[in-house]
Amino acid sequence: MPSFVPTPILNVAYESGGAADGPPLLLLHGWPDDPRTFDSIAPALHAAGLRTFAPWLRGFGPTTFHSSKTLRSGEIPAMAQDIAEFADALGLARFAIVGHDWGARIAYAIAAVVPERVDRIATISVGWDPGELATPTLEQCRAFWYQWFMATERGASVVRRDGKAFARSLWEAWSPAGWLDDAAFDATAASFENPDWAAITVHSYRVRWGQAESDPRHAALAQRYNAVRTISVPTLMLQGGDDRCVLPASSEGKEKNFSGPYRRHVLADVGHFPTREAPARVAELLTEFLTPQ
């Protein structure tokens, strides 16, 4: 059963594990996913002495909003503030982060804006560039078809009407054939039953490309984040070599964006979900990075 902690906006559901006095590590899932994505790597992290906290992001699983009047924003700055407030509620002054997909974007935002709180970050499947998002290459645009689809009302209606089937089609398309486990998908897809999931999903991809209004309460944080030119926090970036969603080329050559230690590792024959597709190798790389001798 999940634990819960209140923040100013949310009642955040999370799972924790490992030694109670171990160095704290936040495990941030992506979209369309949930904390189950870390199930196969968490035991290795716990064996290494780390204390993990894996929240359901806003709009996922048992995490809920306090007020029906709060904009169901899917902006990265909004979710970064959620996670900073989640850490506050747990009494974590400093922590490390492992983030996949949306979780990686959140990790970059927190490391950029409050680096004094972050020991190190490991990001999976998403590279980082400073400032507002640039228009992707045409090849990457083709892979991002689902994001443009959701910018239309017809696309949004599909997400609202049959979000699980939409998510399932993306799981099937984003990695090499044969990796997907039906039971694993079904266990995670239960998190998409959250009544705010569709609204946050659609808003996230629309606001990302300027097709929806931002939440004013996060404007100052967004401005601070967009002003950061380099990240000083030690960073490990893991990229699936056969990622068919966020193409490997999109995360190449990012060293210039990091003033602190930075390393990118490409996992051959792995798609968009490295923690699920190659858990042993990912756990080894993360443990080595997160517990330096």
Of 242, 237, 99, 122, residue with least CA distance to 179: 242
Query: What pLDDT shows up at residue 5?
Result: 98
Residues in the chain: 293
The rounded radius of gyration (Å) of the Cα atoms in the chain is 18
Query: What pLDDT shows up at residue 176?
Result: 97
- Domain extents in the chain: 3-290
Task: From residue 82, give the alpha-carbon distance in Å to each of 70, 144, 203, 205, 218.
Answer: 13, 26, 16, 18, 10
Token representation of residue 32:
């369309």
The CATH number that domain 3-290 falls under is 3.40.50.1820
pLDDT in tens, 151-181: 999 999 999 999 999 999 999 999 999 999 9
Residues of the chain short of pLDDT 50, as ranges, are none
Residue 25 and residue 51 in contact, taking contact as beta carbons nearer than 8 Å: yes
pLDDT in tens, 130-151: 999 999 999 999 999 999 999 9
What's the rounded Cα separation, in Å, for the pair 131 and 153? 28
What's the rounded Cα separation, in Å, for the pair 132 and 202? 19
Query: What pLDDT shows up at residue 183?
Result: 97
To which H or E segment does residue 96 belong?
A: strand 95-100
pTM (2 d.p.): 0.98
